[in-house]
Amino acid sequence: MDSRSGWEPPEGSWASSAARRRNMQAIRNRDTKPELLVRRLLHAQGLRYRVAAKPLPGLRRTADLVFRPAKLAVFIDGCYWHGCPEHYVPPKTNPGYWSDKVTRNVNRDRDTDERLREAGWTVLRFWEHESPDDCVLKIAATVSRLRDDPR
């Protein structure tokens, strides 16, 4: 049982064991090492942004970094949870549930990108394994371009 909500998943529907469930719940959805590195480097360049913010008020999804004036949303995706083509390894335990979860995440990511672009936002996505320096260069260049040439 989840002590925070009192909700208990149906038998066999969530994780393969109580230990696995605790492990998966402990995984951070913000302030990951890759995010912190990118944020630190961007901040050192004088760039300011919102962290874990909703780019669009009506959309129940958050971007890792949001540059509101430039209308730029940045996502730093984990290789496992977002199905990295280089590093994703299908799970050995409860593969049906976890593979479906990752597929739903990928579909939600594409839907998020589409909705943001339709609303006039620029979306940048990076994998957690990408060089933070390379990510920062692309983000800074995009922010600069968008500020100089607003749509």
- pLDDT reading at 21 higher than 80: no
Summarize pLDDT for 100-139 with one digit per residue, the tens.
999 999 999 999 999 999 999 999 999 999 999 999 999 9
The rounded distance, in Å, linking the Cα atoms of 76 and 49 is 14
Determine which helix (DSSP H) or strand (DSSP E) holds 142, and give its type and residue range: helix 132-148
With 70 as the cut, is the pLDDT of residue 16 above it? no
Strand 122-127 and strand 72-77: pairing?
A: parallel
Domain boundaries, the chain: 29-148
3-state SS record for 48-113: CCEEEECCCCCCCCCEEEEECCCCEEEEEECCCCCCCCCCCCCCCCCHHHHHHHHHHHHHHHHHHH
For domain 29-148, give the CATH number.
3.40.960.10
State if pTM tops 0.75.
yes
